[in-house]
Structure 1
Amino acid sequence: MRLFRFLGRLLLLLALLAGGLVFDGYRQLHEPLRVDGWQTIEIAQGETLAGVLADMQTRQWLPSARAAFYLRLYVRWRALGARIRTGEYGLDQNQTLLDALELFMSGRTIVHELRIVEGWTFAQALQAIRANDMIRQTLAADATADAIMAAIGAPGIAAEGRFFPDTYRFPKNSTDVALLRQAYAAMQKTLAAEWEQRAPDLPYASPDDALIMASIVEKETGVPAERAQIAGVFVRRLQLGMRLQTDPTIIYGLGSAFDGNLRRLDLTTDGPYNSYTRAGLPPTPIALPGRAAIHAALHPDDGKALFFVSRRDGTHQFSETLEQHDAAVRQYQLPAQPRQDARPDVNPEANSKPASPSRKKKQQGP
């Protein structure tokens, strides 16, 4: 009898202990983390749950020292195994240890953002990528544009204009190459879709020509309603064999030598991007155009304007004839700022007489 009483008491004690452990474990796993505000934690490749819990204990985020023990028991009981996933996670005081475990297993890592702006050059986009601390840099600091294109799987293609301006979201330690591949693929997809729906009878031999035109439109105006009008001016000039005579192409060709002012010498010095001395489109885009500019290049306005001049308020005055354009230049440009660099209004080639479509000085980049 005494043996049975002892065993009964022992079983009762064990049951009470087990119940106490279950209750304490439940409380520990459901108690809020001791996180001050919002904090981040990184799980490295190959790191175990025990290592993550040790890190959290070191930071004093756990409800108690025994909380880690209970979580490991819970993982074994539920046969969850080592299912935590690599990445950067965000935790706050509203989460429990079970919430943290579910988060680590879900792979819902913190997402960072990088914005590539319409009208940026490739160099500016690359600079933004290299300046972002959340992106792992794998490209050499002195890597050429050609080397970068080869690294993303597009060898032999000029880098300028090939990356779609957008806001890109990525987890910490995404590589520069991965981000560039994503932006390149987005531009390829966008250009192909817009090319498929293009207007008829455009003077483009390929989608690349449309991309070049879109980059010029992007640099010429930030006014949505004007994009198709400006594209229309340039398309008609191409169709008539007139030179584009657009300042942004020259500015791009000058590169770092551009000091904010265009001079007569800049307009008359021949070069691949001088649309005053050369007919047709420049050899590459001059910026990263957005979808609206691409659409405008492929759906230009069907008016008759061949010229436009800045009104100095962000908009432009469009003209059909050289006489109208000269009057607009006198109205909007000359009274406010007499020109010191007196660019020629008339193309020296006989009879065409196209004046510069844009009479403003545009900075390269945003």
Structure 2
Amino acid sequence: MKRLSGIFLLVTLFVSPLFSFPLLQTEIGALGMGSVGAALSVSSALYANPALLFIKEEDGSFFTLSGSYSDQVKPSNFSSALANPLLENPFSNLSVSFRGSNVALTIQNQVSLNDRSEGSGSTSYRGLTHTLFQLDWATGRAPFSFGLNVRALAVSERNPVEIRSSHVVADYFVMTSLSKYETVESKASITVGIGLLLDYDWFKMGITSDSFAFANGSDPLAISADRIYNTLDWGFSFSTPTYDRNNFLHLLKLQAAMDLVNIGSVDDREIRLGFDLKLQLLPTWSVSIKSGYRETKEQPGDYLKFNFSNGIHTLGLAFRFDAFTVDLASSIPTQWYLGTADDDSSVEVMVALSFTL
């Protein structure tokens, strides 16, 4: 009881002052793997497929607190000697998740600064905050499982947000954590997502849609076949065993995955590929090297061919030290490798820290 009281006290003290943070729908640990997730077995505070909740995690964690920061690094900001060259579109995320045997509650807050404009010794942005409450539930009978999630999203805005180059850290903290944001009621939404999973331990296949039912603003909840098809994801993953037949820990563990994302959408259809090579030092101590690739597809038939001028290469590195995990990730447009990148091209970098119990 004392342990639970301490956790809730920590959440109250740490989350409440920052509870004013675009909506990241990808588990932090999968960003370096091209943001795959429909059938990826990873410890997560926000499940890409709610049916994955049915999988019993080896570490048995029931509480996760995670935070991340990411931004785009644009070389032209430095060559042009612009103010705040490292603040292109900064993005902060804070997430708390409580997990039971087949249910999980996630509270997630994110703040992003968009539409950068130059000033005299400063930069201005349009600030957006997203507050998400998500409830996941899953049930099943091996090897099949079914999951359901309900998401309630609130959006607030502040425009403009000014960051002075002489007070970058102070201004960023005040403008993203302490300043008042106005609620945008038209962008509030409630969505219901569903997911199916076939799990044979070494092989997993998942199908999910995060908009089985939806409501925007004050509209009633509606079900649309077109929307379900537009947000339909299909994916599968392979993994080597964690332990050998004698229950000894394997030194190396490999996991690979592929997702076809937003299959029915003309604008957001993607293919995502990723792998994770983990050096397992102890059951709760490990180092992971990750890499991935994602590419937009205009037509469903384009899944069978690659156009590297539209691709993004991702890299990641993760360190787990018992209850703490540090994740580093970057997204690099493949145009950089082809030598066709323009002046506005940028590399996205992310750093994240998670704590689990």
TM-score range, shorter chain: under 0.3
Which has the larger strand fraction?
Answer: 2
What TM-score, normalized to structure 1?
Answer: 0.21
Which has the larger helix fraction?
Answer: 1
